[in-house]
């Protein structure tokens, strides 16, 4: 359950960005969370309302975009969803792969004025 | 009403902590204080290994230990009683990792400028401590034989982030199904430059090689010009 610490990092980063860029209000924050990032969107959502109390973001909505965990098979070079296929290539059954996407954990954008 | 703008920032969530860590790392370098971030699961033998290491090095280096735990101060007392070096206990208040801000508080409490070598014993956990740069000069991970040789497969991020792996409790190898070669292969796939030392703080096996490596790292750090 490390999501609370992560949400606090997000809040600190956005507050700093707001000050630096003189933004008065942020309507929403869009986070990009990869399926392979070891971060669970549900827990982020659960702890967010508590974490934003008494901050500049207390009325800011949290939007989470999930990105799929995609790998490329090292043997036949087929791209497939690692989570759905339990890390096994559906074409040639190889378990060797290189991760293409899904490890990201980013503050993608702010909707602000 | 003003129009809403969409601002793309694409900022890594850890960026804030990484910036703090950069500042702290520079301060530690300027002061020639070598900080080691020690990570592992609970019960891997961190404290026993530390006591053994400190007793080998305390005559040549001024050492301080920062213990981080969710609660209690049993490890801090063990280290203090068995080594006599300065120990500071941090409580993370339920958090499963330390961030750079907490590390800095711990360092300031002990007045780190008085020391050559400071170890931060991180919270026992193989997941989130890997994501937080504390400003350390060296990241060390302990994996004990009873935990199993499959841990690099289960917690890959941790194994990619560390400079050195200590495989502890090596004296118990005969009673566990632990394949040292398989471990080494799995670890090197993730991290080709990692240093691996099999150790037993109980029988002293491997402790000399580990301490020689550590002292060499500290010497290089003290000699280096970071400007």
Q: In this predicted structure, what is the pLDDT of residue A32? A: 94
> Are B226 and B29 in contact, with CB atoms under 8 Å apart?
yes
**What backbone torsions phi and psi does residue B143 show, to the nearest 5 degrees?**
-125, 125
Q: Which residues of A are less than 8 Å from B13 in CB distance?
A: 6, 9-10, 13, 31, 105-107
A3-112 to CATH, choices 3.30.2320.80, 3.40.640.10, 3.40.30.10, 3.40.190.10: 3.30.2320.80
Confidence of residue A1 (pLDDT cuts 50, 70, 90): low
> Are B117 and B61 in contact, with CB atoms under 8 Å apart?
yes
| pLDDT tens digits, A2-46 | 788 889 889 988 999 999 999 989 999 999 999 988 788 999 999
Span of A37-41, B20-24, B27-31 with lowest mean pLDDT: A37-41
Kindly report the CATH number that applies to the domain delimited by B15-220: 3.40.50.300
Q: How many residues does chain A have?
A: 113
Residue B192 clears pLDDT 60, i.e. is over it: yes
Q: In this predicted structure, what is the pLDDT of residue A39? A: 87
Q: In this predicted structure, what is the pLDDT of residue A76? A: 96
Confidence of residue B142 (pLDDT cuts 50, 70, 90): very high
Rounded CA separation B174/B88 (Å): 37
Q: Which residues of A are less than 8 Å from B157 in CB distance?
A: 38
Mutate which of B5, B13, B99 to test chain A, going by most A C-beta atoms within 10 A? B13
Rounded CA separation B145/A90 (Å): 34
Q: Is A1 on the interface with B (CB under 8 A)?
A: yes
Q: A72: which strand partners?
A: A79, A98
Q: What is the DSSP string of A13-59?
A: HHHHHHHHTT---EEEEEEEEETTSS--HHHHHHHHHHHHTTSTTTT
| pLDDT tens digits, B46-70 | 999 999 999 999 999 999 999 988 7
Cα angle value B93/B99/B101 (rounded, 5°):
90
Q: In this predicted structure, what is the pLDDT of residue B2? A: 61
Phi-psi region of A4 (alpha: psi -120 to 50; beta: other; left: phi over 0): alpha
Confidence of residue B227 (pLDDT cuts 50, 70, 90): low
Please choose, from the candidates A66, A13, A22, the residue with its C-alpha nearest in 3D space to the C-alpha of residue A40.
A66
**How many other β-carbons are positioned within 10 Å of the β-carbon of residue B153?**
16
Rounded CA separation B90/B68 (Å): 5
% of residues, chain B, pLDDT over 90: 68
Pairing of strands B34-40, B138-144: parallel
Question: Which residue in B7, B13, B95 is closest to A105 by CB distance?
Answer: B13
Confidence of residue B183 (pLDDT cuts 50, 70, 90): very high
Q: B63: which strand partners?
A: B117
Question: Which residue in A10, A17, A113 is closest to B13 by CB distance?
Answer: A10
Name the average pLDDT for chain B: 91
Q: Is B59 on the interface with A (CB under 8 A)?
A: no
> Are B7 and A109 in contact, with CB atoms under 8 Å apart?
yes
Residue B71 clears pLDDT 80, i.e. is over it: no
């Amino acid at each position: 359950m490390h999501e609370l610490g992560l949400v606090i990092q997000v809040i600190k980063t956005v507050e700093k960005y707001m000050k630096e860029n003189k933004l008065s209000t942020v309507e929403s924050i869009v986070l990009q969370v990869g399926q392979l990032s070891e971060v669970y969107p549900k827990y982020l959502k659960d702890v967010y309302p508590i974490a934003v109390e008494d901050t500049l973001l207390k009325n800011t909505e949290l939007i989470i975009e999930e990105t799929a965990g995609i790998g490329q098979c090292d043997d036949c070079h087929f791209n497939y969803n690692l989570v759905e296929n339990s890390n096994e290539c559906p074409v040639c059954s190889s378990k060797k792969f290189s991760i293409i996407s899904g490890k990201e954990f980013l503050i993608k954008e702010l909707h602000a004025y | 009403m003003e129009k809403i703008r969409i601002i793309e920032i694409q900022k890594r969530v850890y960026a804030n902590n990484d910036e703090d860590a950069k500042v702290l790392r520079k301060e530690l370098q300027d002061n020639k204080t070598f900080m080691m971030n020690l990570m592992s699961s609970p019960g891997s033998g961190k404290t026993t290994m530390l006591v053994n290491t400190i007793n080998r090095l305390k005559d040549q280096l001024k050492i301080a230990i920062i213990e981080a735990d969710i609660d209690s101060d049993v490890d801090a007392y063990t280290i203090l009683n068995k080594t006599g070096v300065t120990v500071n206990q941090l409580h993370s208040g339920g958090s499963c990792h330390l961030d750079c801000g907490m590390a800095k508080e711990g360092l300031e409490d002990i007045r780190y400028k008085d020391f050559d070598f400071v170890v931060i014993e991180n919270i026992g956990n193989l997941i989130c401590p890997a994501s937080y740069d504390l400003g350390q000069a060296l990241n060390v991970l302990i994996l004990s034989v009873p935990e199993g040789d499959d841990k690099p497969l289960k917690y890959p991020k941790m194994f990619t982030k560390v400079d050195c792996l200590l495989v502890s409790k090596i004296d118990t190898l005969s009673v566990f199904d632990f394949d040292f070669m398989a471990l080494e292969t799995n670890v090197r796939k993730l991290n080709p430059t990692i240093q691996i030392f099999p150790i037993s703080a109980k029988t002293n096996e491997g402790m000399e090689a580990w301490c020689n490596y550590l002292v060499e790292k500290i010497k290089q750090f003290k000699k280096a010009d970071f400007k």
